A and B are shown apart, each in its own frame.
Chain A
Amino acid sequence: MNPHPSIDSLVAHLDAPASAVGSHLDACSECRTRASRLAGGLALIDEAQRTSIPPLPWERMESVLQDEAARLSVEIRAGRLRPVRVVPAWVGGALAMAAGVALVAGVQAWRHHEAAPSTLAHRVLPAATPTTAPSLAPQAPRVDGVVLLASGGALYQAPSEAGVPLARVDVVHEGARVETPGAGRAVFTVGQGWTADLRARSALQLARLRDDRADLTLEHGEVALAPAAGETRALRLVDGPWSVEAHGAVMARSEATVLRVVVLAGHVDVRRDGGDALTVTGPMVVELPLDGGAPVQSSAGASDPAALDLALFASQRPLALIPDVDPSAALTLRDQGALPSALEAARFAQPGVLEARRGATAVRLDLASSEPPRWTPVHPTAVVAARAPTLHAPTEIPTPARAADPVDARIAAFEHNVPARLQRCFDNCREQNRCRAPMQGQVRFDVSADGHAVIRSIDASAEGARSCLVNQAQFLPAPRTDSGFTFAMPYRFAE
Chain B
Amino acid sequence: MATVFAPRLSGLGARVTRDEDGTPAYVRQAREGDARAFQELFRNHRRDVGRLVARLLGPRPDVEDVVQEVFLQVFRSLQNFRGEARFTTWLHRVAVNVTLMHLRAARSRPRLGQELLDEPAAPDGSSPVDEAARNQRLRALYRILDTLSEKKRAVFILHDLDGVPAGQIAATLDTPVLTVRTRLFYARKEVYAAMAGDPTLESIARELASPEAAAAAAESPQ
Interface residues of A (CB under 8 A from B): 7-8, 10-11, 29, 32-45, 47-49, 51-58, 61-62, 64-66, 68-70, 72-77, 81-84, 86, 88-89, 428, 430-434, 437, 464
Which residues of B (172-202) have their CB < 8 Å from a CB of A? 174, 188-189, 191-199, 201-202
- Give Cα distance in the complex from A364 to B154, angstroms: 53
Assess whether B212 is interfacial by the CB under 8 Å rule: no
What are 28 of the A-B contact pairs (CB < 8 Å)?
A32-B220, A34-B196, A34-B197, A35-B196, A37-B202, A37-B205, A40-B206, A41-B191, A41-B196, A41-B204, A42-B195, A44-B137, A44-B208, A48-B161, A49-B163, A51-B134, A61-B71, A62-B43, A65-B39, A66-B39, A69-B38, A73-B38, A74-B33, A83-B79, A84-B81, A86-B82, A430-B80, A432-B174
List the A side residues contacting B82 at CB < 8 Å: 84, 86, 431
- Among A36, A433, A437, chain B packs the most CB atoms within 10 A around the CB of A433
CB-defined interface of B106-145 with A at 8 Å, one 1/0 digit per residue? 0000000000000011010000000000100110110010
List the B side residues contacting A464 at CB < 8 Å: 97, 101
List the A side residues contacting B219 at CB < 8 Å: none
Identify the closest chain B residue to A430 (Cβ): B80
- Give Cα distance in the complex from A89 to B82, angstroms: 10
Interface of A is mostly: helix
CB-defined interface of B42-73 with A at 8 Å, one 1/0 digit per residue? 11001000110011000000011001100111
- Give Cα distance in the complex from A431 to B201, angstroms: 42
List the B side residues contacting A428 at CB < 8 Å: 174
Contact of A89 with B68 in the complex, beta carbons under 8 Å? no
List the A side residues contacting B208 at CB < 8 Å: 40, 43-44, 47
- Give Cα distance in the complex from A96 to B37, angstroms: 39
Contact of B54 with A53 in the complex, beta carbons under 8 Å? yes
Interface residues of B (CB under 8 A from A): 30-35, 38-39, 42-43, 46, 50-51, 54-55, 63-64, 67-68, 71-73, 75-77, 79-84, 90, 93-94, 97-98, 101, 120-121, 123, 134, 137-138, 140-141, 144, 160-163, 174, 188-189, 191-199, 201-206, 208-209, 217, 220-222
CB distance from B45 to the nearest CB of A (A): 12
Contact of B68 with A51 in the complex, beta carbons under 8 Å? no
Identify the closest chain A residue to B41 (Cβ): A69
List the A side residues contacting B80 at CB < 8 Å: 84, 430-431
Given A7-B189, A54-B54, are A72 and B38 neighbors across the interface (CB < 8 Å)?
Answer: yes
| Neighbour of B141 across the interface among A48, A62, A433, CB < 8 A | A48
Q: Which 10 A-B pairs have the closest CB atoms?
A: A40-B205, A41-B195, A76-B33, A69-B38, A40-B201, A43-B208, A54-B120, A77-B33, A73-B35, A37-B201
Contact of A36 with B202 in the complex, beta carbons under 8 Å? yes
